[in-house]
Structure 1
Amino acid sequence: MKDLRRYLALKYIQYLVLSSSNAVSTFLGLLGSLYALIILQSAKVSSKSTAVLISSLAKADVLVTVSIVSEMLVQTLGVSILSPVFTSALLQNLLSANTHISCLLLSCVAFEAYLITFFPTDSRHFRTVKNARLTSRIIWILVIAECALFQADDLLKASSTSALTHSSYALWFHISSMAAALLRSLSYILGILLRIVNVYIYYKIFFSMDHQ
């Protein structure tokens, strides 16, 4: 569990402390996720809701791995099954999806830590493996849907705007563009709120333990 706590600390720094990811934090994050997945396979780690959330968090780095490997293939070998515009947008959207999934899962872990600290008995029926798996699935589905919308919007922007304006797809173009812009704004605001909430939660936990 100490190693998993260190892994969570690394992820909090990577996604909720640093303003943007860099090569060092990304590499350490990938190594940490691989190590966490290995630890979670051990019989010594009990199957609890926190372990389920951490496992889903570690698996989210698969999106980063796919993006990095694909970009390396495109740059070094010139291998691109899809169009360059589609590929470039997809790789960037995969990284964004990884960030959003990770931030939401980290916030779920923090909220669970808050419940364990202040409401250990009352919250026991909420902190189940079933609910953790359901929460992880919902987060993945919502973020993948967000990624699909961003991908469609990027492709529409890369297309001929003048041609779309005079076609029957003009309405869909404007709706998609407005929805993507609104969702990007909401994601940015939510990211700030999650940082504030996480700091508050661990501030409360730290001082509650300090006074015990």
Structure 2
Amino acid sequence: MFIIAGLGNPSSQYEKTRHNVGFDVIDLLADQYNIRVTEKKHKALCGTGIIEGQKVLLAKPQTFMNLSGESIGAILHFYKLEPQTNLIVIYDDISLPPGKLRIRKKGSAGGHNGIKSIISHAGTQEFLRIKIGVGEKPQGWDLADYVLGRFSKEDRELAEEAFGKACEAAALMVKGETDRAMNQFN
């Protein structure tokens, strides 16, 4: 079984913000594969289903971004899964232009507090990631204000295209074709 976790912040005030692109991708995956992400467990909204013949648990941690590891760690522990082989995390990246994807098999937190929390609770930096570019913070802006802000109309369109590509990448990754996803989308 794969856990596909999209990072974001709970509550409607954060919908469609740069920091919630992970939630947006989970919503799109849920729609595409007819998976209801409504069950509240492990400090997350969860839904189980099948993607490309593989059983998956889609998760939207409800702990707020900086504590995402509490939820992901609880899921890994409950299902006795290894993050290195059973976890895909989808999240925002300010070092990428809006709409660009970067797929990685492992890495540091790179300053992302949600990823830092997951690394801490999972006990490893080795888990699959789909990073979605939200653009660089403008000079003089506070980082929190930027990532909690909404996209311009043009950037939102780019982001939504990226959400579709992220869904395609996740489908390849659960089939064991991460290298192909990297070649296709990086």
TM-score by length of 2: 0.30
The structure whose Rg is larger is 1
Please state which structure has a larger fraction of its residues in strand: 2
RCO higher in structure (CA 8 A, sep ≥6): 2
Q: Which structure: greater helix fraction? A: 1
